[in-house]
Amino acid sequence: MTDDILTRARTLSGYDDVSRIRQSQDHDWVLDLVPEPPSTVADLGCGTGALLDAALARWPGVVRAVGIDGNERRVREAGVRLAGRAELLTGDLLRLPPLDDRFDVAFMTSVLHWLHPDEDRAFAWTAAHLAPGGTFVLTTHHPLTDARGFGGEDVVARDALAALGYDDSLAGIVPMGVRARPAQPVRALLARHFTVTAVEERQVPVRAESAERYRDFHASTFGTYFSRLVPPDRQEDFFEAVGRAAARRGAEHGEVYGITVRAWRATPLT
Ligand SMILES: C[S@@+](CC[C@H](N)C(=O)[O-])C[C@H]1O[C@@H](n2cnc3c(N)ncnc32)[C@H](O)[C@@H]1O
């Protein structure tokens, strides 16, 4: 049974139904950047385990796969999907304890903006848990931003807030356009722990076939991050307004918004 919209937002459930709109499009791209078949892999912010699943299918020689995510429900879903083929841990990427493992490959896809402004902590942990010469592949999102730093999902949330008659300044939260750092600052953060060996970029239109589908995507991906800006009794209205705002943007521009996605390959400093 599908969760109602408020449960979806509270627990980030339903991700597999909607992640094709953005995140899961990157998985093959990310695997293609790994130079040779690894024996051990870690996926940091593994979500529901789809990338690890694809990695295990591609590389039958993987003997150890570890997925870590901060959301318990997603970790449970990943456990069902990967059934004994991977070790799944619930943990905050900004406060991970040291592990004994040194991985050949670590992934972090569509996660970095959630770690702002403490990305360095996660990068330090990752570099320390890669084997010498190991590979880190991550994706980063780079929405076009306006002069006030709003971009990507911010614009949809702001439309929804305005439509409901609320302040649309996003005061009280860090806009996605700020969380998602431009390429140069990401490179500088990586350079503290890694040598970057490849960067690729794609222009990606974010679009959904209906207002309902975009509403669900927003709730499963952004949870209550934006909806907290409206009172508890207007939560449902907010998600409906997000769907309508996205549909209107889609009809006007052919996409809800465009975003540059970068895939980075890096190896730890020696
Ligand atoms: C957009 S999803 C990406 C999931 C998956 N990597 C993918 O490509 O489909 C972002 C994931 O990062 C996780 N996440 C965000 N901040 C986190 C943190 N501080 N510690 C652990 N996981 C975190 C979320 O729970 C969520 O599953």
pLDDT by residue (tens digit) across 204-241? 999 889 999 999 999 999 999 999 999 999 999 999 99
Give the mean model confidence (pLDDT) for residues 129-133. Answer: 97
Q: How far apart are CA 244 and CA 250, in angstroms?
A: 10
69 Cβ closer than 6 Å to some ligand 1 atom = yes
Closest residue by Cα to residue 88 from 74, 108, 101, 105: 74
218 Cβ closer than 6 Å to some ligand 1 atom = no
Structure tokens at 177: 């356009």
Please count the residues of the chain. Answer: 270
Residue 192: count other Cβ atoms within 10 Å of its Cβ: 12
Closest residue by Cα to residue 48 from 87, 9, 15, 85: 15
In sequence order, the 6+-apart residues with CB closer than 8 A to the CB of 14 are 2, 3, 8, 216, 219, 220
Confidence check: pLDDT of 65 > 70: yes
What's the pLDDT tens digit per position in 134-175? 999 999 999 999 888 899 999 999 999 999 999 999 999 999
Q: How far apart are CA 179 and CA 175, in angstroms?
A: 6
Residue that wins the pLDDT comparison between 252 and 17: 252
What's the pLDDT tens digit per position in 170-193? 999 999 999 999 999 999 999 999
Query: How many angstroms does the Cα of residue 252 sit away from the middle of ligand 1?
Result: 31
250 Cβ closer than 6 Å to some ligand 1 atom = no
Closest residue by Cα to residue 78 from 110, 46, 45: 46
Residue 17: predicted pLDDT: 78
Confidence of residue 1 (pLDDT cuts 50, 70, 90): low
Give the mean model confidence (pLDDT) for residues 194-207. Answer: 96
Choose the CATH number for 4-268 among 3.40.50.150, 3.40.1190.20, 1.10.150.570, 3.30.360.10: 3.40.50.150
Name the closest-CA residue to atom 8, ligand 1.
Answer: 109
Give the mean model confidence (pLDDT) for residues 14-32. Answer: 85
To the nearest whole percent, how much of the chain has pLDDT over 70?
100
51 Cβ closer than 6 Å to some ligand 1 atom = yes
- The answer to whether 66 touches 76, Cβ cutoff 8 Å, is no
- The answer to whether 68 touches 36, Cβ cutoff 8 Å, is no
Confidence of residue 2 (pLDDT cuts 50, 70, 90): confident
Greatest Cα-to-Cα distance within the chain, rounded to the nearest angstrom: 56
Residue that wins the pLDDT comparison between 187 and 24: 187
Closest residue by Cα to residue 52 from 83, 96, 22, 7: 83
Mean pLDDT of the chain: 95
Confidence check: pLDDT of 18 > 80: no
Give the mean model confidence (pLDDT) for residues 90-98. Answer: 97
Residue 118: count other Cβ atoms within 10 Å of its Cβ: 11
Query: How many angstroms does the Cα of residue 74 sit away from the middle of ligand 1?
Result: 9
49 Cβ closer than 6 Å to some ligand 1 atom = no
71 Cβ closer than 6 Å to some ligand 1 atom = yes
In sequence order, the 6+-apart residues with CB closer than 8 A to the CB of 171 are none
Name the residue of 111, 116, 259 whose CB sits within 8 Å of the most ligand 1 atoms, as the mutation to test its pocket. Answer: 111
- The answer to whether 39 touches 62, Cβ cutoff 8 Å, is yes
